């Protein structure tokens, strides 16, 4: 087999079977999945600093949940995803959401929740009971069967490194110096690989990565800087019917800020304003929640 060509010599009956197999294989490879993603930033209330309580969300949500067995996704790159992470896969039965559907203590875990009901708005309303919800991106992509699609939502942050170039000539060696720019993505990167089964179900291999910039480190020579990144990564696989939504959460980051507070008018007096001005540190926790809805394209 060269250049994508196959040459077969056999009986006509065997060639017909091979042709049928290759046609079926070609149809499988060429099938496509449209993936709709809604990415939300949930700023958690003080009562939910360990992450979203998915058991509480389930009680507030009035849809139907299709669920399976529990597994623990692996935390990679320093991300603490919790010990009670819940992976809810697709099975052939469903039940109404209630207090028994999601076991208690799922707060702080990386959670995948396939929702059979098409009303994802109700799930977002349930999340608002635990913090302020802001949508940050709504991409829609297409992927071939068994091919990875990539969604990136973030900021490309530049860093500079000093480079030296030596030029040899008849008069000797000359050295020139310059700056080389390097880009680092700060934000969320989502890799999704769909696999379409013969019964029409879609298996999604999902790997979300959340990266935040903590600071910078200068080289010993002082001529270059490198980023210090806080990275949280998880990997999970779920199997859902076309049109069902998968919810992923558990990727939590802490934002810290130094704030200034002063007494009106008195804080603006030159020389004396510092007596009426104070600084305080604040922090807030955010959890990234991702809704994925795969649909078969005929």
CA distance 277 to 216: 30
CA distance 238 to 108: 19
Per-residue pLDDT tens for 129-160? 888 899 888 999 999 999 999 999 888 888 87
Beta bridge partners of 207: 191
Beta carbons within 10 angstroms of residue 289's beta carbon: 23
Tokens describing residue 282: 């604040």
**Of 194, 203, 205, 200, nearest in space to 239 by CA:** 203
Per-residue pLDDT tens for 205-217? 988 888 888 888 8
The torsion defined by the Cα of 282, 287, 288 and 290, in degrees rounded to 10, comes to -150
Residue-by-residue pLDDT tens, the chain, 298 positions: 445 677 888 888 887 887 777 777 676 777 899 999 999 988 888 888 778 877 777 666 554 444 433 332 332 223 333 322 333 333 322 333 332 333 333 334 445 554 544 567 878 888 888 888 998 889 999 999 999 999 998 888 888 777 767 777 776 777 677 677 888 888 889 999 999 988 888 989 988 888 888 888 877 777 777 888 888 888 888 888 888 888 888 788 777 666 677 777 766 777 777 776 776 666 778 888 888 999 998 7
pTM beyond 0.85: the answer is no
């Amino acid at each position: 087999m060269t250049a994508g060509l196959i040459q077969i010599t056999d009986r006509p009956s065997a060639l017909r079977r091979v042709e049928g197999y290759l046609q079926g294989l070609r149809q499988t490879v060429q099938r496509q999945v449209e993936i709709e993603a809604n990415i939300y930033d949930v700023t958690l209330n003080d009562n939910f600093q360990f992450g979203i309580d998915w058991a509480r969300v389930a009680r507030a949500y009035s849809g139907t949940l299709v669920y399976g067995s529990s597994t623990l996704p692996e935390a990679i790159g320093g991300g603490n995803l919790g010990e009670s992470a819940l992976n809810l896969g697709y099975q052939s039965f469903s039940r109404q959401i209630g207090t028994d559907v999601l076991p208690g203590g799922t707060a702080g875990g990386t959670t995948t929740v396939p929702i059979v009901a098409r009303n994802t708005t109700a799930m977002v309303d349930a999340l608002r009971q635990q913090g302020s919800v802001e949508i940050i991106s709504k991409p829609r992509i297409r992927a071939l069967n068994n091919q990875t699609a990539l969604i990136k939502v973030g900021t490309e942050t530049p860093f500079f490194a000093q480079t030296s170039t030596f030029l040899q000539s008849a008069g000797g060696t000359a050295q020139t110096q310059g700056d080389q720019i390097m880009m680092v993505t700060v934000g969320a990167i989502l890799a999704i690989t769909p696999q379409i089964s013969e019964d029409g179900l879609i298996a999604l291999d999902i790997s979300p990565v959340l990266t935040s910039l903590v600071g910078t480190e200068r080289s010993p020579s002082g001529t270059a800087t490198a980023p210090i990144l806080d990275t949280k990564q998880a990997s999970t696989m779920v199997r859902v019917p076309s049109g069902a939504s998968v919810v992923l959460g558990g990727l939590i980051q802490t934002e810290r800020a130094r704030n200034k507070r002063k007494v009106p008018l008195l804080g603006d007096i030159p020389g004396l304003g510092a007596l009426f001005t104070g600084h305080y540190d604040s922090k807030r926790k955010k959890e990234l929640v991702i809704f994925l809805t795969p649909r078969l394209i005929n």
